[in-house]
Amino acid sequence: MNIDKLIPADFRGCISIYQNEKMLFEKAYGYADLPNHVLNDLETRFATASAGKVFVAIGILQLIEKGLLHLGDKIGSFFDFDLEQIDAEITVEQLLTHTSGIPDYFDESVMTEYEELWYDFPNYRIRSNKDLLPLFIHKPMMYPRGSKFQYNNTGFVVLAMILEKVTGMAFDRYLEESIFIPCKMIHTGYYELDRQPAKCASNYIFDKERNDYRTNIYSVDAKGTGAGGAFTTIGDIRLFWKNLLSYQLLSPSMTETMLSNRSGESQCYGYGIWLKKTENDYNPYFQGCDPGVSFKSAFDKKSQILITIVSNYGDDVWKLWREVSANLEHFSSAKGGDLNES
């Protein structure tokens, strides 16, 4: 089976497929720097949008395991500013599971494009979690806390602020010390758009009026927050999964808790991670989408296959993931094979 034949000719980004420690397929496509024709490669650092929520969730769960935080702790106990109409009784667990009802600064049921946020509020001012406060602090609750699941970006911004309050560290510094460095994810971090390290791909948005591409530097936060915005490589993502699933980041019981469904059957979600229902279990995955950014990384427990697909042009990684997954079902049931075979 030739996986390359499944990849659209105009796909830009990276795809990585591993089974246990065996590489089945890995390849980069398109340009990291379009005007200068600098190609993406396997060491390119890609933006991941909301995928970073999984790192924040693990940071919070680590603090819980250390006894420094509890799932039932209420947000009103952490902050010295006026929460206004926000319910101070919202718990850490409700933030983790998107059941808090806290006003979402980017309500995806109302706004269609993330860059709409910056029409009246300059994105270059967003360089920390607290910089997002003006975008939600004056809004009413979306629904009573704990009453339903609704994906919410503000919840993870507040979780990152709680993490900072408890540790006395910037959230990204804490994640670096507690996740990235232990996992040897040396190419992962939260970088300011105007201070990026080497090998970061630019992200491109197609401009229909001009029939060309523009970068997303005015369309996303200047620096990532608890809601997302980490840069990483496909190799670092593989290291993350390896450490998570071998209980190097959390204890076995807490890892199981994190990967258990907390949201009902219509939207399967654990603590900071999505879950796909199978016949007898759930397969974990995390994903992200921003202007010019698309990312999905999913692990199949039965076949032990990890698929990570990322695009710095916002290509449809979800459709590609479904097609690749469907073909891999036949491969994993076979005794051998080569994904590069015709």
**Whole-number pLDDT of residue 335:** 42
Compute CA 147 distance to the chain's CA centroid, rounded to the nearest angstrom: 25
**Entry pTM:** 0.95
CB–CB of 223/190 below 8 Å? yes
pLDDT tens per residue, range 205-264: 999 999 999 999 999 999 999 999 999 999 999 999 999 999 999 999 999 999 999 987
Report domain 3-333's class: alpha beta
- Does the pLDDT of residue 339 top 70, yes or no? no
Domain residue limits, the chain: 3-333
pLDDT tens per residue, range 137-188: 999 999 999 999 999 999 999 999 999 999 999 999 999 999 999 999 999 9
Mean pLDDT in residue range 257-276: 92
